[in-house]
Copies of this chain bind each other. A is one copy, B any other.
Amino acid sequence: MTEVRWLDDREEQAWRSLMAMQEGLAEFIDRQLRHRCGLSHADYQVLAHLSEAAEPLRAFELGRLLRWEKSRLSQHLTRMEKRGLVRRERCETDQRGWSIAITAEGTELIEAAAPQHVTDIREVVVDHLTKAELEALTAIGDKVRARLAAQDPER
């Protein structure tokens, strides 16, 4: 085993800063949505995809968009269906599958939640970064995802 290259001060600081931001941000977003709209961030993302799609989505497509495990999606949809936010409809062309449709209540909720959500995002991130920082953020995110993708398959 080769020598370990520990992080220097700058690197450590950047990493800690990233991790702390990550935790705080996730917690904040989820709390705001729950508190004001009764939606978890997960609920929000499901409804956002469904309402953007206009047509009902096949469950596996939704799963791909969300990058969720199929069992997670299945159970989450069951809970959301019980709450009346979505509806499962048998798929006509494939007897195994379902189309997931957003209900009127679901539409109402996401349309109420979206503006507040955007406001929150502006409030804690977007509006307080410079143009250069926003671009850096995009670039960093893209690079990291590229590295993750490079790691994943060859694991």
Q: Which of A1-30 contact B (CB under 8 A)?
A: 1, 4-7, 10-11, 13-18, 20-26, 28
Are B144 and A136 in contact, CB atoms less than 8 angstroms apart?
no
Does A142 count as interface, using CB distance less than 8 angstroms?
yes
- Interface-forming stretch among A77-85, A92-100, A127-135? A127-135
**Ordered nearest first, which 8 A-B pairs have the shortest CB separation?**
A17-B141, A136-B136, A21-B141, A124-B147, A4-B115, A14-B134, A24-B148, A14-B138
How many copies are assembled? 2
Does A53 touch B at the CB level, under 8 Å?
Answer: no
- Given A135-B10, A138-B13, A25–B25 Cβ distance below 8 Å? no
Q: Mark A93-119, 1 if CB is under 8 A from B, else 0.
A: 000000000000000000000010011
Smallest distance from the beta carbon of A81 to chain B beta carbons, Å? 24
**Contact size class for A?**
35 or more
Cβ of A148 and Cβ of B136 under 8 Å apart?
no
A–B complex contacts, Cβ < 8 Å, 5 sampled: A5-B118, A15-B126, A128-B144, A132-B136, A133-B136
Q: Is the CB of B137 within 8 A of A17?
A: yes
